[in-house]
């Protein structure tokens, strides 16, 4: 259902340009903020297990660091592109600004498929990444984290290589590390829980009881799993879950009109986030096409997988019952669909606010590492809920005061904060 016709960086720029025009930003600030300040394209030679050398193409982009060190994940993906990394680095700037944490936006990627690499080859790739970027990374410069197809082990290899070169200990130079090795408790759940902290407060603001609502999710990776679990704990009913099937190479939607048992679906999930369709059908789940999640008669749609999923082409299939779109993924709605959402009076919780729980908890990890003092899980999640709820209320109140679409309200707050930092530093 995603379409190649949409360029993520052009989408990110279009969203920025619209708000910049409304705010009347001066031309110098617009030029500075609509593209990354620094782009590093490089190659990583890796000695493979069979003795050959393979050269991998890689990126690290810094969109803006006026408010603090750049922050952003590293993706391993065979179809990674420079424009995807550009867009994600830009969204990271707004994400950090809208939740008001002192970090900027960055992003990295390597064109590779880790499923086709041994652990030893993955380790050499990670260490090569750290060596190539040693002078660009650091707790006060640019702080990476896991992203698509990377994990805590990859981060630890990068950290170890960085510390080996520097001759010191700098656990705050990277986040998403395993607990016990500088990682933060609560980080695994943070993005998914953050989505629901915001949804819960929205429902409170508009007078809806979560227990009287239904939802449909796209995706069943880490974010969707924890979001769906918390939503169910609040009494909400998940009617459908769509996810990619690694074996078949296509997506399916699993539906149960009486409500999906999330713990049950988790028990059927493999390491790729694929649900065993035969076992699910045996437990009474209806098997539907992958895009069927979008057309369910539910109150809330939660795109939590891919970009460019809600487009003008598919929008007519969205049920008239849908009241809220909760963007747990990055860029799931294309800019040309925002007008249609507004015309239907659907409340949209924008991605860079909705899924900011991950970077917020990464910031908490960085703080803990730099202090060399770690909080318990309860404290981490309390701080996370406070930060996410505070950010949402600022966006919601502005949207009401100025009759703004929620995405525009979030952008207005984020762009103003970054533009102000740029001005105060005398960059423009």
Catalytically annotated residues: 107
Q: Which residues contact 194 (CB under 8 A, 6 or more apart)?
A: 354, 355, 356, 357, 358, 360, 361, 384, 388
DSSP tag of 242: E
DSSP tag of 426: T
d(Cα 90, Cα 11) in Å, to the nearest integer?
11
Q: How many CB atoms lie within 10 A of CB 424?
A: 9
Residues 242 and 254 sit within 8 Å (Cβ to Cβ): yes
Q: Alpha carbon 170 to chain centroid distance? A: 25
d(Cα 83, Cα 55) in Å, to the nearest integer?
21
d(Cα 198, Cα 23) in Å, to the nearest integer?
25
Q: Is the dihedral of CA 404, 410, 416, 419 positive or negative?
A: negative
Axis-axis angle for helices 187-205, 222-233 (nearest 10): 50
Q: Are strands 286-289 and 250-255 parallel, antiparallel or unpaired?
A: antiparallel
Q: What is the DSSP string of 170-208?
A: -GGG---PPBTTTBPTTHHHHHHHHHHHHHHHHHHHTT-
Tell the residue number behind the tokens 């929620």, with chain if given: 406
Q: Which residues contact 409 (CB under 8 A, 6 or more apart)?
A: 395, 396, 398, 399, 402
Q: How many CB atoms lie within 10 A of CB 420?
A: 14
DSSP tag of 299: S
* 11-16 contacts at long range (C-beta below 8 A, 24 or more positions apart): 11/87, 11/307, 11/308, 11/331, 11/334, 11/335, 12/86, 12/87, 12/90, 12/91, 12/331, 13/90, 14/335, 15/335, 15/407, 15/411, 16/90, 16/411, 16/415
Question: HSE of 89 in the Cβ direction (CA atoms, 13 Å)?
Answer: 31
């Amino acid at each position: 259902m995603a379409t190649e016709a949409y360029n993520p960086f052009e989408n990110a720029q279009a969203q920025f340009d619209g708000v910049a025009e409304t705010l009347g930003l001066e031309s110098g600030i617009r030029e500075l903020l609509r593209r990354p300040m620094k782009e590093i394209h490089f190659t990583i030679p890796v000695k493979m297990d069979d003795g050959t050398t393979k050269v991998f193409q890689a990126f690290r982009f810094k969109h803006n660091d006026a408010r603090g060190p750049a922050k952003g994940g590293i993706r391993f993906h065979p179809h990674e592109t420079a424009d995807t990394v550009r867009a994600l680095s830009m969204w990271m700037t707004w994400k950090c600004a809208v939740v008001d944490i002192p970090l900027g936006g960055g992003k990295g990627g390597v064109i590779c498929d880790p499923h086709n690499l041994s652990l030893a080859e993955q380790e050499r790739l990670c260490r090569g990444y750290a060596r190539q970027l040693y002078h660009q990374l650091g707790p006060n410069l640019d702080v990476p984290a896991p992203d698509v197809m990377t994990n805590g082990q990859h981060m630890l290899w990068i950290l170890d290589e960085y510390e080996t070169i520097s001759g010191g200990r700098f656990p705050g130079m990277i986040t998403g590390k395993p607990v016990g090795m500088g990682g933060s408790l609560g980080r695994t759940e943070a993005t998914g829980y953050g989505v629901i902290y915001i949804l819960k407060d929205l429902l409170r603001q508009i007078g809806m009881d979560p227990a009287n609502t239904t939802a449909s999710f796209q995706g069943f990776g880490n974010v969707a799993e924890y979001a769906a679990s918390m939503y169910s704990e609040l009494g909400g009913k998940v009617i459908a879950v769509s996810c990619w099937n690694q074996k078949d190479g296509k997506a399916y939607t699993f539906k149960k009109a009486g409500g999906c048992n999330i713990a049950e679906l988790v028990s059927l999930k493999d390491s790729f986030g694929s649900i065993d369709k035969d076992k699910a059908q045996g437990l009474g789940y209806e098997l539907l096409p992958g895009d069927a999640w979008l057309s369910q008669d539910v109150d809330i749609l939660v795109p939590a997988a891919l970009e460019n999923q809600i487009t003008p082409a598919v929008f007519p299939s969205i049920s008239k019952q849908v009241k809220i779109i909760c963007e747990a993924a990055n860029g799931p709605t294309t800019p040309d669909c925002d007008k249609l959402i507004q015309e239907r009076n659907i409340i949209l919780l924008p991605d860079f606010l909705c899924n900011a729980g991950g970077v917020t908890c990464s910031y908490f990890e960085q703080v803990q590492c730099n202090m060399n003092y770690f909080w318990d899980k309860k404290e981490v999640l309390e701080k996370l809920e406070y930060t996410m709820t505070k950010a949402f209320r600022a966006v919601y109140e502005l949207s009401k005061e100025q009759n703004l679409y929620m995405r525009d309200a979030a952008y207005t707050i984020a762009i103003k904060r970054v533009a102000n930092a740029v001005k105060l530093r005398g960059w423009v």
